[in-house]
């Protein structure tokens, strides 16, 4: 009996791919952060395609740059419509990688889309538990120099309906105002009870893996542990995720994910906020394996 050896040369690989033989990597959807756009993901897209040839990578071209300051629920709805269409074409499921403010937008759509098929939700340096610091690039939107005074602007009906960061501004010294006026983050966290809590929790728990990425040298996310669902108490001492009330009460499914073993935390020092999606070390250590 004759046997044949088969050598997979680059030329043969290109022919196979051209004929439709590709890897079974799930599509990857990228959602940008505030005052940014899809072009910020150019290097990350390259990392993904080099590591996983044939992967379909889509950086959503929506609410770019100045438009990224529109209210969060508007963005959740807009991004949700586009992502829903991608998911409908991908019955095998998709991965969702969301940077900075984009992580909260993705939390919103994962909570409100009942039939999503997201496998890995990767939150890349995102203020998941809120923000209590004004980055320099946002000072023109917030003329008050002291962060302790931002609540005077953000905790009002007008700014809740006009500026995205106000929707997740979390002043640990103004808890009552936060719960009264904020119309986004406390609803996602289940800190402000509402009739859709059970449905949103069920929807969020459809994800197979929650990947949290951040680090102490970010210099924008404040506190940086917000990337891991940690946040300040009234003394500005950081309370870690498992000690947060929303974790203990399992209001949106975070404790369930943890109990399932489906939360991965990746901390990387030495990375500034604007460099997360272009850092090869971060990709190799924190992202790559969750896109298989």
Instruction: Report helix, strand or coil for 120.
Output: strand
- The model's pLDDT over 42-74, given as tens digits with 9 standing for 90+, comes to 999 999 999 999 999 999 999 999 999 999 999
DSSP 259-271: HTT-EEEEE-TT-
Active-site residue among 171, 218, 227, 277? 218
Tell me what pLDDT residue 143 has: 59
Taking only the tens place, the pLDDT of each residue in 156-190 is: 999 999 999 999 999 999 999 999 999 999 999 99
Predicted pLDDT at 13:
47
100 is catalytic: yes
Residue 275 CA to residue 270 CA, distance in Å, equals 10
Average pLDDT over every residue of 254-276: 98
Q: Report whether pLDDT(9) > 70.
A: no
Q: How buried is 30 (Cβ within 10 angstroms: 0-12 exposed, 13-18 middle, 19+ buried)? A: buried
- Given this structure, which CATH class describes domain 25-290? alpha beta
pLDDT tens for 80-128 read: 999 999 999 999 999 999 999 999 999 999 999 999 999 999 999 999 9
Per-chain mean pLDDT for the chain: 91
For residue 284, pLDDT beyond 50? yes
| pLDDT for 3 | 36
Locate the DSSP E strands across 125-262. Answer: 209-214, 231-232, 238-239
Which of 36, 40, 68, 100 is labelled catalytic? 100
| 171 catalytic per annotation | no
Residue from 32, 116, 273, 277 carrying the catalytic annotation: 273
pLDDT at 17: 47
Give percent of the chain with pLDDT exceeding 90: 86
Q: Does residue 236 come out as left (phi exceeding 0), alpha (psi in the -120 to 50 range) or beta?
A: left
Please state the pTM of the whole predicted model: 0.90
- Tell me the pLDDT band of 21, cut-offs 50, 70 and 90: very low
* Domains of the chain by residue range: 25-290
Six token digits for residue 63: 């609410």
218 is catalytic: yes
Phi-psi region of 45 (alpha: psi -120 to 50; beta: other; left: phi over 0): alpha
Sheet holding 28-31, edge to edge: 57-59, 28-31, 94-99, 118-124, 209-214, 263-267
Where do runs of H (alpha helix) occur along the chain? 10-18, 42-51, 72-88, 101-112, 151-154, 157-160, 175-181, 185-188, 197-204, 245-248, 254-259, 280-282
Residue 16 has pLDDT above 50, yes or no: no
């Amino acid at each position: 009996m004759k046997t044949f050896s088969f050598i997979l040369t680059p030329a043969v690989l290109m022919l196979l791919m051209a004929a439709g033989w590709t890897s079974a990597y799930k599509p990857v959807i990228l959602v940008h952060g505030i005052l940014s756009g899809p072009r910020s993901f150019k290097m990350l897209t390259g990392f993904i395609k080099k590591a996983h040839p044939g992967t379909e990578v889509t950086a959503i071209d929506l609410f770019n740059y100045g438009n990224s300051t529109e209210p969060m629920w508007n963005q959740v709805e807009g991004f949700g419509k586009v992502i829903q269409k991608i998911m409908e074409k991908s019955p095998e499921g998709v991965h969702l990688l969301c940077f900075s403010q984009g992580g909260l937008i993705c939390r919103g759509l994962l909570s409100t889309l009942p039939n999503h098929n997201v496998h890995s939700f990767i939150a890349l340096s995102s203020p998941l538990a809120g923000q209590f610091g004004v980055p320099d690039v946002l000072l023109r939107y917030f003329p008050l120099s002291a962060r302790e005074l931002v609540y005077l602007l953000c905790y009002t009906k007008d700014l809740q309906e006009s500026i995205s960061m106000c929707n997740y501004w979390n002043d640990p010294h103004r808890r009552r105002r936060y719960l009264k006026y904020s119309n986004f983050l406390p609803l996602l966290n289940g800190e402000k009870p509402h009739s859709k809590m059970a449905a949103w929790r069920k929807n969020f728990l459809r994800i197979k893996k929650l990947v949290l990425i951040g680090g102490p040298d970010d210099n924008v996310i404040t506190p940086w542990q917000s990337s891991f669902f940690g946040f300040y108490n009234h003394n500005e001492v950081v309370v870690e995720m498992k000690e947060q009330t929303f974790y203990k009460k399992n209001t949106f499914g975070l404790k369930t994910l943890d109990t399932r073993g489906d939360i991965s935390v990746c901390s990387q020092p030495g990375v500034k906020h604007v460099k997360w999606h272009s850092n090869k070390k971060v990709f190799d250590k924190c992202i790559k394996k969750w896109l298989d």
